[in-house]
Amino acid sequence: MADDPQKFLEVALEATKKAEPVFRKYFGNAPGVSEKVDQGMHRSPVTDVDKEIETLITSHLLSQFSTHSISGEEFSPQHHSSPYTWYIDPIDGTINYIRGLPFASISLGLWKEDVPIVAVVSDPMHNVTYSALHDKGAFRNGTQKLSVSSVSKFGEAVGGSGRAKALGEDPLLQRVAKAAYRGREYGGAALELCSVAEGKLDFWISERTKIYDVAAGMLMVTEAGGTVTDWEGNPYTLDSANIVASNGKIHTELLQALKK
């Protein structure tokens, strides 16, 4: 199939729609809850629902794009011959999902080598789907164009964090929290990035990021007019260890706060 970003987006939307009934069915009552430990010895929960959703999405994507690579949170990557890779987080915000807290999503991003080109983040519990195409904008439910906030002073900014500790408990984030107006903790990277894109949050920062956590959400932010870098201000890449996303207007001050 020839390169067709619009077609890629349509298939991504189809894949997430297939997974949404499973997501809703087990929300707050997920079977097969266990813990996994990554190479950095960080523990995180996983459920049978994560695996079922990732399998559903992978199957649908490969039925349409058999040469595309797949990199998901729960299974080993499937490498193929094309420059395209789909990054899947079947349940972003798994703890929230297990506990029945309605801040969890399905995140799906397509990158062409090092460039994000398609993003879909589904929030099934609120019947909201965010989508973005490279150079074509970001949208809520396909029609409402997303735009970052207009806050231009860091002292008036409201932001979130994906750090393991809360804003008030982590020494580094205490500095950021003191410089900003308010901090919030939600526990779901994809929807927090969508909140930046939508202008509900002015910034979001995280370390120890994994690409499937942010592959979709960061495109939402940039297509909504925001800025995404690592903590040094370099463009975010597949090898970046951390991430900072903002409305762009406060980005310089935010980076300075992270370095103090």
Q: Which residues are annotated as a binding site for Mg(2+)?
A: 73, 89, 91-92, 213
Q: What is the CA radius of gyration of the chain?
A: 17
Annotated binding-site members: 73, 89, 91-92, 213
Distance CA 106, CA 114 (A): 22
> Residue 170 phi/psi, 5° resolution?
-100, 125
CA angle, 159 then 165 then 170, to 5°: 80
CB burial of residue 24 (10 Å; 0-12, 13-18, 19+): exposed
